[in-house]
Structure 1
Amino acid sequence: MKFLILNAGSSSQKSCLYELAGDRLPETAPEPLWEAFIDWTVLENQGRLMVETPGQKQVIILETGDRQRGIARMLDTLVIGDHAVLKSLGEIDLVGHRVVHGGTNYAEATLITPTVQQAIADLIPLAPAHNPAHLEGIEAIGEQLGDVPQIAVFDTAFHRTIAAPAAEYPIPQAWTDLGIRRYGFHGTSHKYCAQKTAEILGKPLTELKLITCHIGNGASLTAIKNGVSIDTTMGFTPLEGLMMGARSGSIDPAIVLFLQETQGLTPAEINATLNKKSGLLGVSGRSPDLRVILQAKAEGDEQAQLAYAMYIHCFRRCLGAMVASLEGLDTLVFTAGVGENAATVRADVCQAFQFLGLKLDPELNDRSPRNAVISTPDSLVKVVIVHTEEDWAIAQDCWQWWHSQGPGKKP
């Protein structure tokens, strides 16, 4: 069986192709036959496509910012050129999609039907930076691969275990009854990283108090106790919580009313600004990319310095809230683009929690080792870097869906 996995972020498109044989999943992630990554932030109105197959790498500049055309070009590399691994796209048995928001209706891997596709579209107001990208991928696959089964794996599913005191907002019950609650996001990554951390430490997941920090252009923290999510920083939408690349994170809701009343801004204008023009980008005036901010900070740019200071302050504050929800902390986990690679962010965040007995090993931290402990042996709180493998986690859910259909039930 060949499973194609599409993992669309707010500023990227990561994809891979797995070949799975037999009736049992391998215990560790197999090497993908093919991997591709589109970065939509590096070049203005263009994309940078990186394709990798065993022993080969290629970089392709996409001359348009049109994401559907970019996905089509990406799929071409599966069957055309030096990186071709298939004779035709018809060899693909199933396509799995990470979908950020599934609302209250979807808590497991689900076959994408017109009804499901419409539900994803209806939830765009709650995930404006992501759900449109998922739909673009779903539509592009439909055009290129026809009736191949497409499966949605929802980021919100992992957080369905959050109890009402943490999941509900202090608003009138009539509003809560409208579905306004904390949904949480990055669930696929948080779940995978928690399981991987337990494996790295050689301890049962059910005995750990973890905080997983998924820090990329979008970012969230999750408190995990007994293997389940009990609290998380993102809420009704992915806008809540940490200061992010282009999202504001949590702000006083009265600010929105003030802008409407004094500046005449519409809800759509405010929404677009908070989701796409705030965060590191909004404060620095330069970029949502932390690498750019760090370079500008080193060059003495005052707004970049302020943006970074705010970023770390917000991170520490939100992390402290997760520690309180857990009533303690065994292990702190960093993952995703910034979490895995930005040693200075990890050092600056961890410095504030030395009072918990957390001791970071500076040399190990600077190396940014993959799937490794980077705290000192005597640290009371273990600090771990986990390379998130959302694609493999999605593939696992898709495999389970495929086999749950039984003989003769598969599309």
Structure 2
Amino acid sequence: MDASGGSGDAKADATEESIQPDAIGQPTHAGSEQLDDDPVPLSCFTILGDAGRGSYSVVQRAYDNRAQPATQSRIVAIKTLYLSYGDSNEELRVAATREVSLLRSVEHENVLRALGVAAGPIDENFHIIMECCVKDLAVLIEEDEVRLSVSEVKCLSWQLFQGLRYLHTQNIIHRDIKPDNLLLTARGTLKIGDLGLARCHSTGSMTPGMATLWYRAPELLVGAAEYTSAIDIWAAGVVIGELILGIPILPGETDADQLDLIAKLLGSPTDRDLQPLRDAGYPCRGMQDSLVTWNLPDRFAEAGGKGIVAFLTGLLQWDSNNRWTASGALQGRGALQGRGEPAAEDAAVWWNKQPVMCREEELSFLSDWSYVYISSASHKSSMIVVRFLFSSAANSPRQETPPSSTG
């Protein structure tokens, strides 16, 4: 499994929550800090071990020796992007620069935060110092084989849409939402990670074929180069479906196969569904060759509880113009009640009907994540070491998107 997504990066953007011990040696959140303006020498960090590897990067857990006083020491993640990878050198350099630029511009609880950049004495690679999380959703579902309750799925979905709403408000399209890129802290906070493929939205053409295949929206599957943040909404809907059932819901092998699986779930697209793509000049040949009926209720109604079918329907629409926004998906609960978006009524059923959404700290799998403290004479304090409960599988069945230096 490759948890950092479409750029073929390492297992996760980060693999342990940024923590520090309080006076009685219990984990607490490290305070908010500004991104470092200048590269930090790698010698300032003690590497604790690999968190995962990919084709173009490695993520390592590290002890930050800079923190003073000693009680403020913390674990961070250092993501190293290899900038000398055959003919991809320049593409990787552009991708790394873009990722750091975007990471510097975001600040939200549900988006992974960068703390700075680091540099070695003789080193052409790019090192990003990041917040740390315990693991990603893909590891939780596939390797740990955790079956989430509907209450837990709602909790994670709420956080996902909070993060997406923030990114989209900042005019950023993530372009690779999938379980591997959704990271979890030890307190149950979900963070959207891996902004390596993210771009500021523009009205012109962008690179077609973005997003990992299983989570790729229909417009991307037909080669559209003009798309919107609706591709993230589609991917989020597929992720939620996967969390509900515990298995990938659209595991295609090719673009054509993926379109066929979508048709078997949503029913064959109508002329009205495809008209925006045809108007834009994108081929839709073969998408209506066989008439398939709507199958979404049969797959999700029993497992997802009341409201799941209407909720997923709002996210998974052939026509991107008909998909909910992230704000629309959050409608109907708490402070967002009654704001008047078309999604409000259907979204409210999902959020408010039994079983109700649990709180972050109530996520059942958190009880299996434990801290281990060991003495460290060199630091004259307790070094925090975290017991990681995941493996570092390198090969994922998920189709990957190569890094691109284009838009």
TM exceeding 0.5? no
Structure number with higher relative contact order (C-alpha < 8 Å, ≥ 6 residues apart): 2
TM-score normalised to structure 1 length: 0.27
Higher helix share: 1
TM-score normalised to structure 2 length: 0.27
